[in-house]
Every structure is written in C-alpha cells, then in structure tokens.
Chain A
Amino acid sequence: MSQRTERRGIHVDQSDLLCKKGCGYYGNAAWQGLCSKCWREEYQRVRQKQIQDDWALAEKLQREEEAAAYASSHSAHSQSTAAQHASVGHFSKFEEKKTNEKTRKVTTVKKFFSPSSRTTSKKEIQEVKAPSPSISRHASFDTDQVSKEFVDFLKNLHKPGRETYKQCRAFLLNMSSKKVCCPPETITVSISYQNKETFLFRQDLGADELSECVQDFYQNLADRLISHFKGSSESVEQVMDQVEKYIMTRLYKSVFCPETTDDEKKDLATQDRIRALHWVTIQMLCVSMEEDIPEVSENVVKAITDIIEMDSKRVPRDKLACITRCSKHIFSAIRITKNEPASADDFLPALIYIVLKANPPRLQSNIQYITRFCNPSRLMTGEDGYYFTNLCCAVAFIEKLNAQSLNLSPEEFERFMSGQTSPQFSSSDSDWPCSESGLGTTVTNPVLVQLNHNLELLTGLCTRQEAVMEAAQSLQADLLTWSDSVQQEVHNILEKYPLEIISKVSAIDANTDNDNLPSPIKPQVFAD
C-alpha cells in the first residue's frame, strides 16, 4: 500500500531523501542530510578533534611543568612523571558512576583478601592506567564542554590565562596524585576494586582536608591574579568564577557527599524529618503568602522547582544561583500578598515553608558541598550569600522545630507527629472542607484544585485521543473500501467493455505489406 501511495504522491526525487554520505539509508534535515549513523560519526569526529586539541594544549603545558620540575630536582623526576602520567588516566575516571552501597561493602571486605605485593600492584596500575583519553573523556560530555569553555575564556587573557590554566591543571593533578602516592595496602585495594579512584581519593583525604586544599588553591590563585590584574577585583572575580566552574565540575563526583562524612546519613535524616512534618500548614508558620491568589501560587511553585533544581547542578555557584532564584520568587509571592516589600521577618518563615513543601533532594549534602567548595566571598557576603545563609537557617530551624515554634501545645504537636490527627481534619471548618463531603465542589486546597484541574485536562486529552483513534480507524477503513471500490470499478468497466483483440486484418493499407497478400487480390496500381 505504501508503495502505491508513494508512486501516486507528490514527486520527490528519491536521492534527495537519502543520506548525503551515500550509505543508502535515509537522511534527515536535522542531521544536515545525513542518516543518524553517519551523523553520529561525523559529529564525534569533530568533537574528538576538539578534545584532542585541548588535550594537546594541556600536554604541552604539562611538559613545560615537567621540564621545570626536572630542573629543580633530577632524582624526583622519573617518579613524578610516572605519577602524573598515571594520574591523567585516573583522573578522567573520576567521572565514573558512583557504585551503589552494596558494592562498596563487598569491596571493603574484599580488600582483606587481596594480595598485597607492591610490585604487582604497580604493574597492575600501569595496565589499568591509560584508557586512551578520548574514550574515558567521551563519557562525560558536560565536562568536555566546560573544559572547552574554560580554555576559550582563558585564551582571551593571554599570559595570565595560560598561567591560570597551568595552575589549575597542576592542582587537579596534585589532587589526583594524592591517590596514587598512598600506602601499599591502599593500592592493593584498587586492584580488587573497580571504582578505585573514588575510593582511594576518599580514603586519602577527609572532607575537611579536601575543602582546605580547594580553598587554599582559590586563595593562592586569587592572590596571584590580583597582582596580574593590578588589583582590579572584578576581573579577578570573573576568572575565579571560571576556575571554580572548571575545577568543581571535575571534582564533583568524588567530593560531593563523600563517604568519609556522614552527609548521606544527614540527608536521609532531614528527608525523614521533613516528611514527618508534612502536616505543617502555612498558618502555623505565620507565612504571609496567600496561595489562593494565582500569581502567588505560581511563584510558590516556581520557588519549589528552583530549590529542587539545586541538586542537579555541579558547580557551587550554580547551586547558589538556584537558591537565589527560589528566594526571589518567594519575595515576589510575599510582595503580591502584602502589597509591600518583604522583610526578613516574612522571608525566613516563607523559605522554611518552601523547604518543607519541596523536601529538596540531598539537602544537607548540597549545603555541605557549597560550604566546602564555593569561593568564600560568595558565601558570607553578597546577595547569594545572604540567601544561602537563610537556607541554612531554615534547615537548622526545621531540625530543631518543636511545638513552641508552631504555636501548638506539646500534646497537639505529638498527635500530629504521630499521625493520630492531622490539622486539616481537627480544625475542619468552612475554610477546609473534608474531601468526603459528598459533592464538595468547593475544594479550597490549592493542591487539590491543581489536581482536579490536571485530571480534567487528562480526561480531555483522553477523549481527544479516542476521537483521533476513531478517525484514524475510519480513515483506514475508508482507504480499504476505496481501494476495493476502485478495483470494483475497474472490474465493472472491464466487464462492460471486454477486452477484444482486434485482428490486424481488419485494416488494409494500400501502401504496406502488399507483397504478403495473395496474388489474386493484389492491388493493382494504375497510373492516372
């Protein structure tokens, strides 16, 4: 059938549809006329080249560094090169997926049984060491993108830019070589352990030490830059922002919620705590936001979305930006409700309310991560710092929250916490009707309103989809009967006008085939 339609349809040159590479598959305009396979290959080639260029630059800088190191101490040279060499491969593996809890436990046990000969381990490491950079780097496109942007940014700065890049590379190598230069038994673990980098890294340095390393690095670099830029603090801050982005994108996986801390435990505790407080109402917190006003509830939803989004960012400053955006939405919500600028007295309770509603994922880990690895000038001063501090306050308040802080009696608080009663039903007056109030068309809870609205939309979509399906089916039926009817028609016509083979004899042409005719009736040509 499709073939028929194609022949019947508008004329498109077949060759226009095919992949430009001529592989025989169909191409697509979105892929610049290539088929998906050729496009991927092409794209990868370009990207690979970019990566290689960056890599070459990095290598060059590294060689310079090594040369300098060689000059300073000849004896340490070979060792350090080996370490640096190994760490390149190791480093790129930071980005590998964190293994789950189970695997970790298994390997911890494993390490007691693994052989602990140093020579073997070294050899093993050499072997494991270098998956070609392109392959391992290929795993994280984001990281490549960030590196590329970083290099591009620094290119415009000329000498200080190169200097900065060198410093960053050296720092990253230093961070990763910390793992390589560790006691023999730790190296052994790495063999029996697939995800060794992360493991070693964490065992080597505690969270606070890691933080200290990074913060020291920031400060040293900032000091140097200040002299480079002759004290222009804005340029320094710009560069430092880029440096933070570059460094932290790379370190994120291994320093976010590290095992050496109880961040994860705290995350779970906070999450449970917030869940247990699900019954807290906006009135109990004395928040001045009227969620009945559509604009207000819109801002509330946006604030919740922003604070949840924080977890998806890798760079501390990006996380801060999420908090700031969330806060701005809260301010708008309060401003619309009260019709005057929101003050700190209004803001903090509102933020607490938003955190309770959102229950942001890995809240404690995120706060710890920001505190440890953000450029400090962004934390304790500046607008971002202000909102971040408020978030910390909100979390601290939620942890300590008790009957008094909600203006409840201790008994009431206990009942709510234990789930015996919930405030909605105990105080069920006109403003909060129970859901089982029959044909209750006046549901005031905004969440329920939203839910109903969404359900209506869904049913609407369902009926429309059904209509579409019906129409499609009837179209199909029509097409079938149409082809049948065409056949029928053809058949009828054929019957009406049966095909007759008319013999050639019927026409006698005087000018042709004269020779074939029997002689008696051979036409005679007479001259006039």
Chain B
Amino acid sequence: RGLFIIRVFLLFLMGETLPRVPGGVPVRTLRVKMVLLGSSGVGKSSLAVRFSKDQFRDSSPTVGCAYLTRVLYLEDITLRFEIWDTAGQEKYHSVTPLYYRGAHAALVVYDICKKETFVRAQVWLRELEKQYIPGSTVVWLIGNKEDLSQNREVSLQEGQNLAQEKGLSFTETSALSGDRVNELLLAVGKSSSHDAPVQTGRLSDNLSLSNGVPQGSDSGPTFGP
C-alpha cells in the first residue's frame, strides 16, 4: 500500500508541461492538495474560504465549503490548490488519517485565544507523525485568529517553539482580516513545487518533516509582528 501511495503521489507531483503560453515559457500545472486539521471552532472553514476566494466566510454563496479550490498563476507554474476541510469534532478524530492520504500539505490549526486547541493541536501532530510517509506531506502549524491578539492565551513564542521542536513550518494568520493568508497559500504552493523535481527523480527519503520550508527562509511565511 505504501508503495502505491508513493506512486500516486509521484503522479501528481510530476506536473505536466502545458502548451506554451503567449510569453513563450512552458508552464507547468501542479495540483496541491492541502488538508485542514484542528479542533472545532479554530477557524478551519473560515481559512478555507479565505484561501479559495479571499473573503470571510459569511458572504459565501456556495452550497458547501468543505471542498474548495483556488488557482494561482505564477510566472513559471500554475498552482491548482484543493482545499480539504475536515470535521473537527473530537469523535471524528480517529478517522481523519484517511483525509491526509496523498496530501501535499497538512495544516494543523489552533486558536491563539484558546489554550486547549493548542494542546489538541499537539495530539493531531503526534497522530500525523504516526501516519506519516516520509517525503509526501509538508506539515504546517497555524495559529489562527491573530486579530484577537489582545485575548491571546497562546503566545507567539509557544507556537514557534513547538514548530521548531517538531521541525514544522509555522505562521499566525487571521481568517477574519485575511492577514498572511495569501502568503501562507503561496508558501504552501512553493514548498510543494520545490519538492517536485526531487520527487520525479527518485524515491527519496531525505524529505522528512523538517524539509518543509525552513523557518525564516525567503520562501517561508512571515512571523508575527
């Protein structure tokens, strides 16, 4: 089964060269599957809507916002994001590993105003580590509702420390204001596309959790104020 998943993964990351665009540069299209994990109420769905439409959820006219897409056209690559929202209720926790099969990025979200969601996030992370297939999924830790900084229960430092310890990429966002949401999306896309050449070449095991976008690097997201 593992082999199978890797093969599937290969299939996606290879991307495909499309006919030339007017500029004359061949553009690759890349599918990026990202899964949102975290407790109920931390703002996963709000983030998903932000990712796909760059607006806060209330004005969304769609029937459902569990599966959303967003296409970003960059110079040399077209990124097609698929955003998979998950049920956050604790009773569904045990079935969530099914969601992140073949995901390029897993975003573990917590609410900076609720300590218990941060504790819960660590459970998610341990779970992810257990199911983890080296080289397949880049894991992110996201502190959401950054606009409510005055009620903060989890400090920026705590989040950064956890990320460092586990070797994850980290950022704080606000789905409400849209702060750093687009940057995050770009960074997720870049970390997925950067891995692509390695993936096409061979089955490499040098991509581990720590090989996400390293903290503070150019392509990484920005950190808090």
Contact = CB atoms under 8 A, between A and B. Distances in A.
Interface of A: 212, 215, 219, 222, 226, 230-233, 236, 328, 331-332, 334-335, 341-345, 347-349, 376-377, 379-383, 386-387, 389-390, 392-393, 396-397, 400, 404-405
Interface in B6-21: 7-8, 11-12, 16-19
B16 A396 contact: no
Interface string B86-118: 111101101110110111000000000000000
B16 A226 contact: yes
B195 interface: no
Contact of B87 (A236, A331, A349, A386): A349
Contacts of B88: 344-345
A360 to B, nearest CB: 18
Interface string B6-45: 0110011000111100000000010101000000100011
B66 A397 contact: no
Query: B-side binding surface: helix, strand, loop or mixed?
Result: mixed
Given A233-B16, A345-B45, A347-B66, A396 B11 contact: no
A348 B16 contact: no
A343 B98 contact: no
Nearest to B1: A208
Interface residues of B, number: 41
B63 A335 contact: yes
A348 B90 CA distance: 13
Would you call the interface of chain A mostly helix, strand, loop, or mixed?
helix
B72 to A, nearest CB: 16
**Can you list the 7 inter-chain pairs with the closest CB atoms, starting with the nearest?**
A380-B102, A331-B64, A344-B85, A348-B87, A344-B66, A393-B95, A231-B17
A231 B17 CA distance: 5
Contact of A383 (B7, B67, B96, B99): B67
A404 B91 contact: yes
B84 A342 contact: no
B62 interface: yes
A19 to B, nearest CB: 54
A332 B82 CA distance: 21
A392 B64 contact: no
Contacts of A348: 87, 92
Interface string B53-96: 00001001111111100000000000000101111110110111
Contacts of A380: 8, 33, 101-103
Given A230-B19, A376-B11, A392-B98, A343 B31 contact: no
29 contacts: A230-B17, A230-B19, A232-B19, A233-B18, A233-B29, A328-B63, A331-B63, A331-B66, A335-B64, A341-B60, A341-B64, A342-B65, A343-B85, A345-B40, A345-B87, A345-B89, A347-B64, A348-B92, A376-B7, A380-B103, A381-B82, A386-B84, A387-B67, A389-B84, A392-B95, A393-B92, A397-B91, A397-B94, A400-B95
